[in-house]
Chains A and B, each alone.
Chain A
Amino acid sequence: MSIDMNWAEVSSVASNIREQTQAVISRLNAGLEDVGSTAAETTGLHTSAALMSCQDAWARELGDLVRRTMIAADKLDDSAMSTEQAETENTLAAQALQGLL
């Protein structure tokens, strides 16, 4: 099976994903805190209890999404690095072979 990858581009995609996710994390935390504050301010209402349930579920769900995104970015980086190493080794091997001939 041949590898058809521009490892520099893939590495750049991984960096972008990681950067964007990190930027989103702090805003999501603030958003979840807002949900909690709204729920606290409206204690006694049915909506308040429902919002608290939502906050818990969303925190779990978003945490999982962010974790999966970061793992995906790491795996992209790993693949890019492996391909870069393989390419380098191949180049060196080819140069060595040329030297022999």
Chain B
Amino acid sequence: MATDMDEAAAGLFDSGGKALPEAWRDTTGALAAGEIGRLVYSYSIVGVRSRAVCSVLSGLDLAFTGAKSRIAAWLAECATRGFRVSDTGTVMLGADAKTSGSLADQLNRASMITTELTAALEDATVADQRAAQALTGIGLTELNINGEGDINADDLELHRDRILPEGVDTGLEIIRKTMPLDDSPTVQSTWWDGLSGTQRDMYLKTVPLEIAGMAGISVAVRRHLSEPERGYDRLKLLEFARDHWDDTSIDWTHTDSNCTNFVSQAFEHAGLEQKGKPGFLWRWDEDEWGHARKKFLFFDFGDDYSNSWGGAQQQHDFFVSQRAQIIDPVNARPGDILYVTNEGTTGEIHHTALVTGVLPNGDILYTQHSDSAQNLSWNGRLPYTHVQGGTQGVQIVRVTETW
């Protein structure tokens, strides 16, 4: 439905919003174009809102999957041990208890499993309640959200900047809620083992840092997330994004544009080696990426940067020239770079961000700096940028250190 709304808005914008002012140039034509514009905004808003709802439901779906896995793992152990489980979730010793060990040990185990089953059910219930609450709030938002009496660009912006992130945040919160984040490593390991390959992949893409932070998750899984063979640690990249997305102390002071500088700093933090160093008169070559202290005799001019460090197009060109992979957006993973292009005009890359998650519904989440924001929804913003800011494109790039 979100896609249908986006298409309706884009179609109406292309055929009406753009064509009408050309075809009908007088005052009445402007009024007609105004009405078509209101309709375009309305469809766009419904599309953005539907995406927010999708994010909540997508989170709930994975949360239930995780909760089921937890419950299934404990029920499997009950079956192995010959324990009985009552309708209310209480675990009792069965007549045919099959395992060895003292009665006290068995009773303790049964009690522990009862607690775990209850916790899993409670978490799933809380997730359901939270999702319902979000749906009632987000799903039924007024199109005219700013209450000015007209549906316009402000309403669309408010939906993009407030309602959409709310949906994404709720989806992520629900997923985390049903994960055994605070449980013992054994419980975490049992939970992970109970997931299918597809479900594990969803968790790795949606909440990679939470998965890596669980003590019960194996070194192999953590290594899979880090991908050290790429020459840097992708988990550290994500940690940097999480810890510094709103940290102005890392900004350049001579410009407001720090998006690419932020991504470069994240890669440096993650261990990606600089390439090259400034030559004569502190000139950097195009195939270099890095920074160095600019000193001359007693004078210290501070850090000097290659163009590829802070320029979006230049950074993209540098990485791609060093054999970085250009990834189909449907295969995006946390740790990839998201470059935004002006498809409608020059085709130039004008913005850089880090992919920090991919929701189970395929929505790419990205984190950016100046304007600072965490886990923005790309799929949700794309139609907005099409209607509001000219056609925008995306390029996903996966860096490997080849130098």
**B20 engages A10 (CB within 8 Å):** yes
List the A side residues contacting B23 at CB < 8 Å: 5-6, 9-10, 12-13
Q: Which residues of B contact A10 (CB under 8 A)?
A: 20, 23-24, 29
8 Å CB contacts to A: which residues of B1-39?
1, 4, 7-8, 11-12, 15-16, 19-20, 22-29, 32, 35-36, 39
Q: Which of A1, A28, A53, A76 contacts B4 (CB 8 A)?
A: A28
> Interface residues of A: mostly helix, strand, loop or mixed?
helix
Bound form: Cα–Cα A10–B24 in Å: 7
Asked if A4 and B29 sit within 8 Å, CB to CB, the answer is: yes
Query: How many residues on chain B are close to A (CB under 8 Å)?
Result: 38
Q: Which stretch, B129-137, B269-277, B372-380, touches the partner chain A?
A: B129-137
Kindly list chain B residues whose C-beta atoms are within 8 Å of the C-beta of A47: 57, 60, 128, 131-132, 135
Tell whether B393 is near chain A: CB-to-CB under 8 Å. no
Which residues of A have CB within 8 Å of B219?
none
Q: With A69-B39, A72-B36 known to touch, is A79 a contact of B28 (CB < 8 Å)?
A: yes
Residues of A within 8 A of B32 (CB): 72, 75-76, 79
Query: What bracket does the count of chain A residues touching chain B fall in?
Result: 35 or more
Which residues of A sit under 8 angstroms from B131, Cβ to Cβ? 46-47, 50
- The answer to the question of A43 belonging to the interface, with a C-beta cut-off of 8 Å to chain B, is no
Residues of B within 8 A of A69 (CB): 12, 39
Taking a contact as CB atoms under 8 Å apart, the answer to whether B7 and A24 are in contact is yes
Contact in complex: A68, B39 (CB < 8 Å): yes
- Most B CB contacts (10 A, CB to CB) among A2, A49, A65 go to A65
Cβ contact within 8 Å between A16 and B15: yes
A6, A49, A51, A65: the one within 8 Å of B46 (CB): A65
B24 contacts across to A, CB distance below 8 A: 4-6, 9-10, 79
Contact B26 A13 (CB under 8 A): no
Say if the beta carbon of B140 comes within 8 Å of chain A.
yes
* Chain A neighbourhood of B29, CB < 8 A: 4-5, 10
- Residues of A30-60 at the interface with B, using a CB-CB cut-off of 8 Å, are 31-32, 34-35, 38, 45-47, 49-51, 53-54, 57-58
Identify whether the interface residues of B are mostly helix, strand, loop, or mixed: helix
Contact, CB under 8 Å: A20 / B129:
no
Which residues of A lie under 8 Å from residue B135 when comparing CB positions? 47, 50-51, 53-54
Within 8 A of B (CB), among A57-82: 57-58, 61-62, 65, 68-69, 72, 75-76, 79
Interface flag for B42 (CB, 8 Å): yes
Identity of the chain A residue whose Cβ is nearest the Cβ of B38 in the assembled complex: A68
A26 to chain B: closest CB distance in Å? 10
Partner of A13 from the list B8, B20, B39 (CB cut-off 8 Å) is B20
Do A65 and B42 touch (CB < 8 A)?
yes
Of all chain A residues, the one with the shortest Cβ separation from B32 is A76
Task: Please pick, from A46, A61, A68, the residue contacting B128 in the complex, using a CB distance under 8 A.
Answer: A46
Which of A31, A34, A38, A69 has the most chain B CB within a 10 Å cutoff? A69
Given A9-B23, A24-B7, A28-B4, A17 and B16 touching (CB < 8 A)? yes
B131 to chain A: closest residue by CB: A47
Whether A31 lies near B1 (C-beta < 8 A) is: yes
A32 to chain B, nearest CB (A): 7
User: Cβ of B139 < 8 Å from any Cβ of A?
Assistant: yes
Q: Does B92 contact A (CB under 8 A)?
A: no
B1's partner among A5, A32, A49, A65 (CB-CB below 8 A) is: A32
Given A50-B131, A50-B132, verify A4-B25 contact (CB < 8 Å). Answer: yes
Q: A50-B133, A75-B32 are in contact. List 20 more A-B contacts (CB 8 A).
A: A1-B26, A1-B27, A5-B23, A10-B20, A16-B11, A16-B19, A17-B12, A24-B4, A46-B128, A47-B131, A51-B135, A54-B53, A54-B136, A58-B1, A58-B139, A62-B46, A65-B43, A69-B12, A79-B28, A79-B32
User: Which A residues have a C-beta under 8 Å from some C-beta of B?
Assistant: 1-6, 9-10, 12-13, 16-17, 20-21, 24, 27-28, 31-32, 34-35, 38, 45-47, 49-51, 53-54, 57-58, 61-62, 65, 68-69, 72, 75-76, 79
Chosen A-B contacts, 5 in total, with CB atoms closer than 8 Å, are A10-B20, A24-B7, A27-B4, A47-B135, A50-B132
